[in-house]
């Protein structure tokens, strides 16, 4: 597998970013770029699917922190899904579940946007 | 865990594309001495954070030899990681450990690495000699490893 991959799928006003590989200080700029591109296109309802992500460090977590305020100000949100327990543990350690909606799978994330 | 002290060393250019290699080194040694998967993940992440800080902050653009040393020392009691750079150093007293509640409420960016290191490891200490050597020493005691092993084996039998 490549070091880090981000695949984007747009459906109506929702955009899903499917992450794979590892997200550290080396690869975090790639995610930053992908989210910035969504914002530049006026797409603020974002689902991040962590299914194939094997590792995350604070550099990866910092990317979400860097965008969330702008996204919410524009009426959007980042909802997260499909985390392995290893990835969830890092989010949980930092108290991120109080800030972000983290759900089991992508369909639930979609319904949270619709609900 | 080994009966006599063992040491493993890695010297590597201070670049983010080497973080993967550093994590591989750390996790292989942690696995070899018997840490479970969850503890290996914690040690790997703490070391990544320490090295990422060095890569980001230790050296100015003018310095040619930007190397980073990662040493692992293991005795019967503990697993110690020492990350050394030869850069400009910093005042450890200036490090602020974020209050996570406040941090999240204010949607701050950065500074999470030090919080993770302190949370994931049993001890984190600094030895700073600017331009000579700067070290971050992180310790994980085996007693925690054994208690987590018990939890794992109970889970395995359920």
How do residues B56-110 score in pLDDT, each as one tens digit?
Answer: 888 877 777 789 999 999 999 999 999 999 887 777 777 777 788 887 777 676 6
* Alpha-carbon dihedral sign for residues B89, A90, B21, A59: negative
Residue of A24, A58, A89 lying closest to B112 (CB–CB)? A58
Give A28-81 pLDDT, tens digit per residue: 999 999 999 999 999 999 999 999 999 999 999 999 999 999 999 999 999 999
Which CATH number is associated with domain A4-107?
3.30.750.24
List for chain A the helix, strand, coil content (%; round to 5): 45, 35, 25
Q: What is the mean pLDDT of chain A?
A: 95
Tell whether B157 is covered by a domain: no
Q: Kindly state whether B113 is in contact with chain A, defined as any CB-CB distance less than 8 angstroms.
A: yes
Task: Give the integer Cα–Cα distance in Å for B54 and B48.
Answer: 10
Q: Is the pLDDT reported for residue B22 higher than 80?
A: yes
Tell whether B156 is covered by a domain: no
Provide the domain limits for residue B73: 6-146
Tell whether B91 is covered by a domain: yes
How many domains does one find in chain B? Answer: 1
Q: Kindly state whether A72 is in contact with chain B, defined as any CB-CB distance less than 8 angstroms.
A: no
pLDDT score at A1: 56
Q: How confident is the model at residue B128 (pLDDT cuts 50, 70, 90)?
A: confident
Per-domain residue ranges of chain A: 4-107
Alpha helices (H) along chain A = 28-40, 58-73, 85-93, 106-114
Calculate the dihedral angle through the C-alpha atoms of B94, B97, B99, B102, rounding to the nearest 10 degrees. Answer: 50
Let me know the angle formed at the C-alpha of B111 by B23 and B65, rounded to the nearest 5 degrees. Answer: 55
CATH of the domain at B45: 3.30.565.10
Q: Is B155 left (phi over 0), alpha (psi -120 to 50) or beta?
A: alpha
Task: Say yes or no for a CB contact (<8 Å) between B55 and A62.
Answer: no
State residue A24 phi and psi, 5-degree precision: -130, -165
Task: Say yes or no for a CB contact (<8 Å) between A25 and B120.
Answer: no
The count of CB pairs under 8 A between chains A and B is 66
């Amino acid at each position: 597998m490549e070091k880090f991959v981000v695949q984007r799928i747009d459906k109506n006003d929702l955009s899903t970013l499917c992450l794979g590989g590892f997200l550290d200080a080396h690869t975090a700029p790639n995610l930053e770029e992908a989210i910035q591109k969504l914002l530049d296109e006026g797409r603020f309802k974002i689902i991040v699917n962590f299914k194939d992500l094997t590792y995350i460090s604070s550099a990866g977590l910092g990317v979400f922190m860097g965008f969330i305020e702008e996204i919410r100000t524009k009426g959007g949100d980042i909802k997260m899904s499909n985390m392995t327990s290893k990835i969830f543990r890092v989010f949980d350690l930092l108290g991120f579940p109080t800030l972000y909606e983290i759900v089991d799978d992508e369909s639930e994330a979609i319904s949270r946007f619709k609900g | 865990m080994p009966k006599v002290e063992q040491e493993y060393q890695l010297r590597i250019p201070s670049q983010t594309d080497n973080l993967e290699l550093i994590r591989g080194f750390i996790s292989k040694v942690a696995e070899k001495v018997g840490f479970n998967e969850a503890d290996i993940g914690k040690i790997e992440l703490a070391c990544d954070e320490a090295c990422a800080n060095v890569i980001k902050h230790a050296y100015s653009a003018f310095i040619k030899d930007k190397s980073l040393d990662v040493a692992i020392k293991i005795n019967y009691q503990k697993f110690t990681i020492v990350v050394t750079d030869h850069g400009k150093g910093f005042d450890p007293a200036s490090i602020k450990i974020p209050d996570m509640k406040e941090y999240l409420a204010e949607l701050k960016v950065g500074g999470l690495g030090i919080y993770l290191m302190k949370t994931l490891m049993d001890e984190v200490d600094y030895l700073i000699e600017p331009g000579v050597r700067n070290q971050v020493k992180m310790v994980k005691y085996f007693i925690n490893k054994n208690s987590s092993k018990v939890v794992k084996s109970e889970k395995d039998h359920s």
